[in-house]
């Protein structure tokens, strides 16, 4: 057997041993034998670089260095989950989705909610080709080389897998590995890591994949992304397990809220015995067809929810209350606490949310307060120890004036927060808006961080985001921490931002209630800033997910002369105020509003929606009197059918729709 044949033989053997050990829970060889075979393969590959294979078992060892992690757009958006904390909330969720669906839902899945770092992996022809962090849900960082070092991530699949697909998982660091890692750090005189979750996430961004390989990370897989070729979610995961993915056996099918709660209670008691952290249970509608029918909100799937375990609670002293001013002028009171360990991290501050919350809690400075993490993420005060109270003279009184510019605060009817109305003169608001403008999710301007924005503002060089485009080298070089290279990077980043699409520019302006998703919908619908500025409330209402609050906010924004001057200045500087012109396949559906509902044989729902838009039509989110017709597939909800019949909206099948085009 020559070297090339031996290399291929070793790769096949080691892939088989990995699959048996991590998926089938069978050890076919001893650890010593496995290590000897791996070393032999490494030596042969080193001697024959022409036979390099990006998915060789030797990739588990790592060794490549990545200085920058490219940003990659996800093929399918990674949504977050809504949370629930009680039987009543869970029951309400089931009732809500059944009402939305128009019938009873007989089967759900329950899975453990792993507390780690979410990852999306792309496979082609049975090999791992890319691994991307969750990021902001739309795009994340390419960490493929580091993920390949995780022992239970299959580099080569087995069985009847699709040619191309994405799969989602959660990367965790088990307790034992975390403790060993910290022992090593302490022995070396370094600060120990705070908790396994953050350490797992940070491990994915290490520049040396060899260092990542030293960390005993594991990945548990929980969903094939955007694949409706299986009737149920549970069947798709069982299939994924057969291809080599580590899908935990804890997955259960349940039929009602009682069975869901039984699963929650079981793991609420047993989670202390698990070798890794979980913070709750994920409950999903099992039927893929019903999932398609229910769809998504702007942030979360309607067909899934997270039941979070009761948060850990600790007591500590309330030392003071400070007030923060947000970029929109919203005032947030913050409790300053005696530092205390909570869920693996040191907590020094907690949000008090608003004046109503402070009044409800009836807090005094000096109180011994109970702190927990809301959803085990953001610390909050939930009460106080009545036997250890501060003095009556120290009852917290909500401030009346802005802590930054001293303007009297206002409270808008129907809103819980107080606001500083001095949006054009309050330094913190101005700096916050510019920081938002340059941030990664907005115009993503390299070379400008939050501190740099503050420096430029306080030096009188910028008063708004449009002023960034007038900066020059002579202004910047004399500033502290501004060397020639820093200045060049900053100016290059500003110049490059002119290429960002209109939807990002619109989001970057920081208009209240106009987040990234709303900005994209407005940009696609109107196509330019000029058309958006002139849009009537009736025209705005035609845009999916745009309601009265967003319309009022847009109207207010465009009434302010300073805002219009900023937009004009940005336009003159070359910032994009026009969306990409979409070339239509035809105008066959022009003026028609079409709703897509159900599951289809030839095309996916997304493909049908794209066809509608490509042929001049508009996709409606729900059936109304304005709907022209519904493209109806299998498993269309009964309530939608009834509504269409009641309003006289025609239902047409997939093939009839395709013939129409």
User: 605: domain CATH number?
Assistant: 3.40.50.10190
Q: At 362, which CATH number?
A: 2.40.50.140
In a domain, 643, yes or no: yes
Per-residue CA distances from 369 to 336, 340, 357, 381, 399 (Å): 11, 11, 14, 7, 21
- Greater pLDDT, 56 or 385: 385
Are the C-beta atoms of 108 and 291 separated by less than 8 Å? no
Per-residue CA distances from 513 to 83, 172, 270, 426, 510 (Å): 22, 35, 42, 20, 8
Per-residue CA distances from 321 to 324, 330, 336, 463, 642 (Å): 10, 16, 6, 30, 55
- For range 564-581, the mean pLDDT: 92
In a domain, 363, yes or no: yes
Q: Which two tokens stand for residue 317?
A: 């002293």
Q: Report the distance separating Cα 378 and Cα 175, nearest Å.
A: 23
pLDDT tops 70 at residue 228? no
Per-residue CA distances from 352 to 45, 359, 380, 388, 523 (Å): 59, 10, 7, 20, 36
Considering 308, 331, 365, which residue would you say is the last residue of a domain? 308
30: burial class by Cβ within 10 Å (0-12, 13-18, 19+)?
A: exposed
Which of 242-256, 478-492, 545-559, 580-594 shows the lowest per-residue confidence on average (mean pLDDT)?
A: 580-594
Q: What pLDDT, on a 0 to 100 scale, did the predictor assign at position 194?
A: 73
Q: What pLDDT, on a 0 to 100 scale, did the predictor assign at position 4?
A: 82
Per-residue CA distances from 154 to 6, 117, 149, 541 (Å): 21, 18, 10, 48
* DSSP 8-state secondary structure symbol assigned to residue 353: -
Quick one: 513 and 633 in the same domain? no
State the CB neighbour count (10 A cutoff) for residue 642.
12
In a domain, 27, yes or no: yes
Q: Report the distance separating Cα 599 and Cα 635, nearest Å.
A: 6
Count of CA atoms in the C-beta half-sphere (13 A) of 329: 20
Are the C-beta atoms of 145 and 131 separated by less than 8 Å? no
How does pLDDT run across 524-569, given as a tens digit for each residue?
889 999 999 999 998 998 887 788 889 999 999 999 999 999 999 9
Tokens 């020559």 locate to: 2
pLDDT band at 375 (very low <50, low <70, confident <90, very high): low
- Greater pLDDT, 313 or 419: 419
Are the C-beta atoms of 354 and 416 separated by less than 8 Å? yes
Pairing of strands 368-374, 378-384: antiparallel
Quick one: 92 and 183 in the same domain? yes
Return the exposure string of 385-412: e unless at least 16 CB atoms fall within 10 Å of the residue's CB, then b.
Answer: eeeeebeeeeebebeeebebeebebeee
Q: Which two tokens stand for residue 385?
A: 């120890």
Picking from 641, 526, 541, 632, the residue whose alpha carbon sits closest to that of residue 579 is 526
Q: What pLDDT, on a 0 to 100 scale, did the predictor assign at position 207?
A: 84
Q: Report the distance separating Cα 370 and Cα 376, nearest Å.
A: 14
In a domain, 584, yes or no: no
229: burial class by Cβ within 10 Å (0-12, 13-18, 19+)?
A: exposed
Are the C-beta atoms of 371 and 313 separated by less than 8 Å? yes
- For range 229-233, the mean pLDDT: 89
Tokens 């694949």 locate to: 227
Q: What pLDDT, on a 0 to 100 scale, did the predictor assign at position 23?
A: 63
The separation between the first and the last C-alpha atoms of the chain, rounded to the nearest angstrom, is 60
SS3 14: helix
Quick one: 319 and 271 in the same domain? no
How does pLDDT run across 120-147, given as a tens digit for each residue?
999 999 999 999 999 888 889 999 999 9
Estimate to the nearest angstrom the gap between the alpha carbon of 593 and the chain centroid: 30
Q: What's the domain count of the chain?
A: 6
Q: Report the distance separating Cα 438 and Cα 615, nearest Å.
A: 36
Q: Which two tokens stand for residue 410?
A: 């206002």
Quick one: 213 and 96 in the same domain? yes
Q: Report the distance separating Cα 586 and Cα 97, nearest Å.
A: 36
Q: What pLDDT, on a 0 to 100 scale, did the predictor assign at position 125?
A: 93
Q: Which two tokens stand for residue 250?
A: 């804890």
Sheet arrangement for strand 593-597: 618-620, 593-597, 629-632, 651-652
pLDDT band at 483 (very low <50, low <70, confident <90, very high): confident
Quick one: 386 and 528 in the same domain? no
Q: Which two tokens stand for residue 252?
A: 């259960």
Tokens 């485009």 locate to: 469
pLDDT tops 70 at residue 581? no
Q: Report the distance separating Cα 267 and Cα 421, nearest Å.
A: 49
Quick one: 548 and 561 in the same domain? yes
Contacts of 620 (CB under 8 A, 6+ apart): 544, 593, 594, 595, 626, 627
Helices (H) and strands (E) in the chain, counts: 24, 22
pLDDT tops 70 at residue 25? no
- Greater pLDDT, 573 or 295: 573
Quick one: 274 and 157 in the same domain? yes
Average pLDDT, the chain: 88
113 part of the active site: yes
Are the C-beta atoms of 119 and 220 separated by less than 8 Å? no
Considering 451, 474, 499, which residue would you say is the last residue of a domain? 499
- For range 109-116, the mean pLDDT: 94
Quick one: 301 and 326 in the same domain? no
Quick one: 135 and 96 in the same domain? yes
Are the C-beta atoms of 419 and 328 separated by less than 8 Å? yes
pLDDT band at 624 (very low <50, low <70, confident <90, very high): confident
Quick one: 201 and 325 in the same domain? no
Q: Report the distance separating Cα 555 and Cα 273, nearest Å.
A: 56
Q: What pLDDT, on a 0 to 100 scale, did the predictor assign at position 127?
A: 93
* DSSP 8-state secondary structure symbol assigned to residue 348: E
Q: At 17, which CATH number?
A: 1.10.287.610
Catalytic residue among 26, 113, 183, 640: 113
How does pLDDT run across 394-452, given as a tens digit for each residue?
899 999 999 999 999 999 777 788 999 998 899 999 999 999 999 988 999 988 888 89
State the CB neighbour count (10 A cutoff) for residue 441.
15
In a domain, 68, yes or no: no
SS3 112: strand
Q: What pLDDT, on a 0 to 100 scale, did the predictor assign at position 373?
A: 75
Q: What pLDDT, on a 0 to 100 scale, did the predictor assign at position 227?
A: 66
Count of CA atoms in the C-beta half-sphere (13 A) of 579: 20
Quick one: 522 and 563 in the same domain? yes
- For range 337-362, the mean pLDDT: 86
Q: What pLDDT, on a 0 to 100 scale, did the predictor assign at position 122?
A: 94
How does pLDDT run across 159-210, given as a tens digit for each residue?
999 999 999 999 999 999 988 888 887 777 777 787 888 889 889 988 888 8
In a domain, 533, yes or no: yes
Considering 445, 467, 499, which residue would you say is the last residue of a domain? 499
Contacts of 19 (CB under 8 A, 6+ apart): 154, 158, 244
How does pLDDT run across 449-475, given as a tens digit for each residue?
888 999 999 999 999 999 999 999 999
* DSSP 8-state secondary structure symbol assigned to residue 91: H
Q: What pLDDT, on a 0 to 100 scale, did the predictor assign at position 24?
A: 66
- Greater pLDDT, 242 or 272: 242
For residue 484, the enclosing domain spans 427-499
How does pLDDT run across 51-96, given as a tens digit for each residue?
877 778 777 776 666 667 888 889 888 998 988 988 999 999 999 9
Q: Report the distance separating Cα 188 and Cα 181, nearest Å.
A: 11
Quick one: 139 and 283 in the same domain? yes
- For range 223-231, the mean pLDDT: 81
Q: At 541, which CATH number?
A: 1.10.150.20
In a domain, 445, yes or no: yes
In a domain, 228, yes or no: yes
Q: Report the distance separating Cα 576 and Cα 578, nearest Å.
A: 6
Which of 17-31, 233-247, 564-578 shows the lowest per-residue confidence on average (mean pLDDT)?
A: 17-31
């Amino acid at each position: 057997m020559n070297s090339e044949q031996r290399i291929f033989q070793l790769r096949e053997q080691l892939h088989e041993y990995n699959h048996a050990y991590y998926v089938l829970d069978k050890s076919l060889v001893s650890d010593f034998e496995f290590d000897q075979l791996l070393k032999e393969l490494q030596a042969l590959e080193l001697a024959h670089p022409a036979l390099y294979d990006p998915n060789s078992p030797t990739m588990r060892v790592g060794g490549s260095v990545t200085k920058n992690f490219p940003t990659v757009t996800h093929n399918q958006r990674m949504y977050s989950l809504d949370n629930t904390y009680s039987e009543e909330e869970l029951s309400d969720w089931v009732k809500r989705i059944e009402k939305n669906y128009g019938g009873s839902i007989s089967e759900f899945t329950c899975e453990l909610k792993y507390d780690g770092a979410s990852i999306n992996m792309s496979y082609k022809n049975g090999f791992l080709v890319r691994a991307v962090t969750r990021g902001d849900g739309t795009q994340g960082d390419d960490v493929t080389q580091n993920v390949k070092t995780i022992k239970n991530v299959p580099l080569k699949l087995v069985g009847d897998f699709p040619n191309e697909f994405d799969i989602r998982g959660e990367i965790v660091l088990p307790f034992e590995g975390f403790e060993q890692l910290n022992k090593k750090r302490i022995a070396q005189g370094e600060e120990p890591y705070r908790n396994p979750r953050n350490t797992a996430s940070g491990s994915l961004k290490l520049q040396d994949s060899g260092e990542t390989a030293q960390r005993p990370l594991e990945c548990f897989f929980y969903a094939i992304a955007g694949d409706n070729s299986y009737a149920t979610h549970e069947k798709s995961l069982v299939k994924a397990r057969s291809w080599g993915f580590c899908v935990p056996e804890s997955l259960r099918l349940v039929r009602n809220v009682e069975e869901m709660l039984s699963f929650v209670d079981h793991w609420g008691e047993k989670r202390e015995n698990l070798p890794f952290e979980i913070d709750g249970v994920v409950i999903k509608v099992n039927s893929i067809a019903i999932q398609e029918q229910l769809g998504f909100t702007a942030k979360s799937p309607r067909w899934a929810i997270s039941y979070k375990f009761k948060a850990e609670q600790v007591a500590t002293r309330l030392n003071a209350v400070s007030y923060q001013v947000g970029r929109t002028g919203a005032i947030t009171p913050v409790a300053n606490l005696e530092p205390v360990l909570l869920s693996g991290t040191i907590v020094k501050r907690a949000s008090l949310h608003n004046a109503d919350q402070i009044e409800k809690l009836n807090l005094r400075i000096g109180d011994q307060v109970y702190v927990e993490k809301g959803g085990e993420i953001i610390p909050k005060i939930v009460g106080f120890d009545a036997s250890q109270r501060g003095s009556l003279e120290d009852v917290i009184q909500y401030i009346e004036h802005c802590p930054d510019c001293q303007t009297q605060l206002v409270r808008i009817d129907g809103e819980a927060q107080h606001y500083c109305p001095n949006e054009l003169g309050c330094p913190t608001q101005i700096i916050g808006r510019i920081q938002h403008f340059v941030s990664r999710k907005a115009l993503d301007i390299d070379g400008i961080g939050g501190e740099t924005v503050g420096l430029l503002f306080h030096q009188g060089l910028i008063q708004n985001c449009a002023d960034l485009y007038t900066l020059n080298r002579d202004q910047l070089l004399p500033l502290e921490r501004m060397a020639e290279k820093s200045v060049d990077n900053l100016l290059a980043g500003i110049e490059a931002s002119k290429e960002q699409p209109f939807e990002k520019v619109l989001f970057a302006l920081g208009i209240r209630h106009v987040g990234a998703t709303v900005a994209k919908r407005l940009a696609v619908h109107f196509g330019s800033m000029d058309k958006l500025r002139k849009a009537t409330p009736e025209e705005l209402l035609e845009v999916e997910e745009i309601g009265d609050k967003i319309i009022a906010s847009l109207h207010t924004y465009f009434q302010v002369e300073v805002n219009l001057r900023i937009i004009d200045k940005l336009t003159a500087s070359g910032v994009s105020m026009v969306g990409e012109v979409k070339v239509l396949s035809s105008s066959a559906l022009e003026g028609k509003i079409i709703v897509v509902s159900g599951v289809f044989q030839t095309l996916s729902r997304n493909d049908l929606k794209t066809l509608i838009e490509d042929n001049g039509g508009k996709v409606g989110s729900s059936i109304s009197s304005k709907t022209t017709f519904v493209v109806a597939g299998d498993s269309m909800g009964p309530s939608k059918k009834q509504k269409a019949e009641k309003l006289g909206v025609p239902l047409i099948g997939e093939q009839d729709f395709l013939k129409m085009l």
